[in-house]
Structure 1
Amino acid sequence: MFRRHPVLSVLTVLYLGCVGYITLGPEPYDARSSGVLWRFLDFFARHDETDWITFDRVEFVANIVMFVPLGLFFVLLVSRSRWWLAVLLCVATSVAIELWQGAFLPTRVADLGDIVANSSGGILGVCLGLIVMSLSLAMRGRGRGRVGTA
């Protein structure tokens, strides 16, 4: 798997490192990013049209978004026929993060909701990868069909 796709393998490991840095550090946010986030949330809270944008919702969506590339990378690495393995890798990664946070990071909160959000994002990424691979195969097939015709 890693020998067949060395560049994708490196990108996946680098992205996993970023996810680890974000999720396994002692503090979820540094002072600068936290300040910006709270200013945006305060702004949204002052307007009736956007007061539904809360910290919990932003965090849930951010967890989904963070795992979409992971699902995409995993399915590209393991192949279309083993898409289910990519889903399992996303879920296992999320569970491992939450277990680590619960066991070793007292300043972080291990949450089942994070597993749901992360896994959902991973599944979306796997679906996106399957769509991309299917389109790529279809385009290659169409290109081959045209070569012999004229």
Structure 2
Amino acid sequence: MFRRHPFLSVVTLLYLAGVAWITLGPQPDFGNKNSLVMQVLRILWEHPATDWVTYAGVEFTANIAMFLPIGLFFLLLFGRRQWWLAVLIPFLMTLGIETAQIWIPGRVSDIRDVISNTIGAIVGVFLGLALTAPRARRDREAARAQARQRVRA
């Protein structure tokens, strides 16, 4: 895996380190009334078309967005045949993160994070499958053509 895709392996490890820093470090105070997130939400709440946006919804969506690249990177590293690893590993990572957050002061463990992170990984896997489908189709057709040539020879 690392020999086949050394650059992607490094990018994946750096991204995972960033996720670990975000999820296992001190809890950012986004709920503070002066935070950028709350300022944006207040602007959204002033307009009837966007007053339905909530802090919980933004957090859930952000967790999906944070784990989407992980699903994509793992799919590209492990390959299409082992797509299930690109879902299972982020799910297990999230369980580990949420378990660790129980003992981190200021952090709150939440089952919604497990759900949103896993959804993000699944979306990343589907994106990866869609992006790699043309190449996989060409490879299958080339293998079939090669097999037919061997049978004829």
TM-score by length of structure 1 reads: 0.86
1:49-106, Cα deviation, whole Å (9 max, x unpaired): 2111110000000000100000000011111111111110110111111111112x12
Q: Which residue is equivalent to 2:35?
A: 35
Give the unaligned 5+ runs of structure 2: 146-153
Q: Take 1:41 and 1:81, find their aligned partners in 2: how far apart are those partners?
A: 42
* Equivalent pair of 1:71/1:126 in contact (CA under 8 Å): yes
One-letter amino acid of the counterpart of residue 23, structure 1 = T
Cα displacement (A) at 1:21: 1.4
Q: Which residue is equivalent to 1:107?
A: 106
Q: Which residue is equivalent to 2:150?
A: none
* Equivalent pair of 2:27/2:106 in contact (CA under 8 Å): yes
Counterparts of 1:60-99 in structure 2, within 5 Å, are: 60-99=60-99
Cα displacement (A) at 1:138: 3.5
Q: Take 2:105 and 2:66, find their aligned partners in 1: how far apart are those partners?
A: 22
Q: Take 1:29 and 1:127, find their aligned partners in 2: how far apart are those partners?
A: 33
What is the alpha-carbon root mean square deviation over aligned residues?
2.4
Question: Is 1:22 aligned with 2:42?
Answer: no
Give the unaligned 5+ runs of structure 1: 146-150
SS in 1 for 2:48: coil
Moved more, 35-44 or 130-139: 130-139
Q: Which residue is equivalent to 2:134?
A: 135
* Equivalent pair of 1:28/1:108 in contact (CA under 8 Å): no
Which contiguous aligned blocks of 4+ residues in structure 1 show a shift greater than 4 angstroms?
A: 29-32, 139-143
Select the structure that is richer in helix. 1
